[in-house]
Amino acid sequence: MKIQKVAIIIMIVIVMIGVLSASVESIRFELESGHTKCIAEDIKSNSMTVGHYSIVNPNEGQPLPESHKITLKLTSAFGNSYHSSENVQSGQFAFQAVEGGDYMACFFAIEHQPPLKIPIEFDWKSGVAAKDWSNVAKKNSVDMMELELKKLADTITSIHEEMFYLREREREMQELNIVTNSRMAWLSFVSLFVCLSVAGLQLWHLKSFFEKKKLI
């Protein structure tokens, strides 16, 4: 039984590591000139975040065209700016998230005639993946096995913090649902009261009308 439990724990850790590593792969997309494209990332508070973005050269071996420039603005869920750059061909950012929630990275390219499609490569990492493990290895002079153990320990800590973070978000959503249901119940009651009142007034008006006409 103990061996089975250990095997299950190892499988869960491997799956979670796979999920975390899959979420930090760089992405490549095309940005049309005159348009904006935004990418969101859910980041916990106090998490380290690093990112690198660059325009992919459509003509290898030649310099990038002057028309291939982008603007990036990175904001938190509360609208606070964490990074901003204008008319660049590449850049990077690094910060520690003070606020938890969805962070939005919005890319924009100046309009051109005819329209251009600018290929962009974007690498965004947060949490354990944002740490520079090569420097950790150099500074502490540890071997590869110890380094992997450090990575695993930090990953497990990150998973543990992520569980508490998701639990807190779930609690907030439950509270929001309770408040929403309560307001909907009051709105339904008020709507029903208004409908009944209007129906009563209509009946009273019709009764008065028929009485005046001596139809009843």
Buried b (16+ CB within 10 A) or exposed e, 82-98: bbeeeeebeeebebebe
Q: Residues near 165 by Cβ (< 8 Å), separated by ≥ 6?
A: 44, 100
Taking CA atoms, 166 is separated from 9, 19, 159, in Å, by: 20, 15, 10
In a domain, 93, yes or no: yes
Q: How many domains does the chain have?
A: 1
Q: What's phi and psi for 121, nearest 5 deg?
A: -110, 130
In a domain, 36, yes or no: yes
Tens digit of pLDDT for each residue in 63-122? 888 888 999 999 998 889 999 999 999 999 988 888 888 899 999 998 888 888 999 999
Q: Is the pLDDT of residue 8 over 50?
A: no
Tens digit of pLDDT for each residue in 138-182? 555 456 666 667 777 777 777 777 788 888 888 888 998 998 998
CA gyration radius, the chain: 29
Quote the pLDDT of residue 130.
Answer: 60
Domain hosting 125: range is 26-130
In a domain, 145, yes or no: no
Taking CA atoms, 200 is separated from 168, 188, 195, in Å, by: 48, 18, 9
In a domain, 116, yes or no: yes
Q: Which residue matches tokens 């009944």? A: 196
Kindly state the tokens that stand for 25.
């792969």
Quote the pLDDT of residue 157.
Answer: 77
In a domain, 207, yes or no: no
Quote the pLDDT of residue 127.
Answer: 74
In a domain, 147, yes or no: no
Quote the pLDDT of residue 121.
Answer: 94
In a domain, 84, yes or no: yes
Quote the pLDDT of residue 15.
Answer: 44
Band of pLDDT at residue 135, cut at 50, 70 and 90: low
In a domain, 20, yes or no: no
The 3-state DSSP class for residue 142 equals: coil
Higher-confidence residue: 150 or 57?
57
CATH number, position 116: 2.60.120.680
